[in-house]
Amino acid sequence: QAFFCLLLCIPWGSSCPPSCQCTERAGAKAVLCSSRHLEEIPKDIPRDVVFLKLDANSITRIPSNAFRHLSHLEEIDLSRNAIEKIDRAAFKGVAAGLRTLDLSSNRIRSIPKEALLALSAKLRLANNPWHCECALQEVLWEARLDLDSIQDITCHTAPREEYVGKPLLQVLDAGVNFCSVRQRTMDMAMFVTMFGWFAMVIVYIICYVRHNREDSCRYGDYLRSLPSAQAHAE
């Protein structure tokens, strides 16, 4: 009975991942998992955590609903990992309360804008090998970025070589609009597709008319041959 009473008295979510340290910071629970050689986000993080440090590990991906059960989260530090992929619903469930999200110094080339634009948190995205494109431009304009690190969001690759190595903000300030480039590309692709369909219809009509003309000629020849055949029979 004493054992079951002890189990009931333990608050839900009070356990701590074996590779981390759980402590208090300003009266709120903090889970410290820095430099623990983690390759993925621990699944047994306490539900009442407010500050979560996962920096300096080997995490490569943030999957959908990775923090959904952590409704009290206010700060997440994922800097200095090896993150390459972030799913669209990676931060689903914590968007409302999250105040700070650090994704700096990873291997992120692109990110679904849906993953970040739903957040009101201050974002740190510096020192990643970004591919400068429309989605990143929209994040820069619409998300709440950390002003101290915004200059370190640099184009590692870009549609044009002249943008490579430059801060994205500098490229955009020069009048470049990656979204309009994408729109022009889509318009051109649509034009080519429509032209292809139009050409196929024209070819079909020409073949159809030619085929009917040949059938008509053959039928006319057949009709003209009938009297001569009858005369020959007489």
32-52 pLDDT, tens digit per residue, is: 999 999 999 998 999 999 999
- pLDDT in the model for residue 12: 40
Averaged pLDDT score across all residues of the chain: 84
Q: For tokens 């979560």, what's the residue?
A: 52
Say what the pTM is. 0.72
The percentage of the chain sitting over the pLDDT mark of 90, rounded to a whole number, equals: 64
- pLDDT in the model for residue 26: 86
- pLDDT in the model for residue 78: 98
The pLDDT of residue 184 is above 50: no
Query: CA 84: distance to chain centroid?
Result: 11
Interval 145-158: pLDDT, tens: 999 999 999 999 99
For residue 205, what pLDDT band results from cuts at 50, 70 and 90?
Answer: confident
Quick one: 137 exposed, middle or buried, by C-beta within 10 A (0-12, 13-18, 19+)? buried
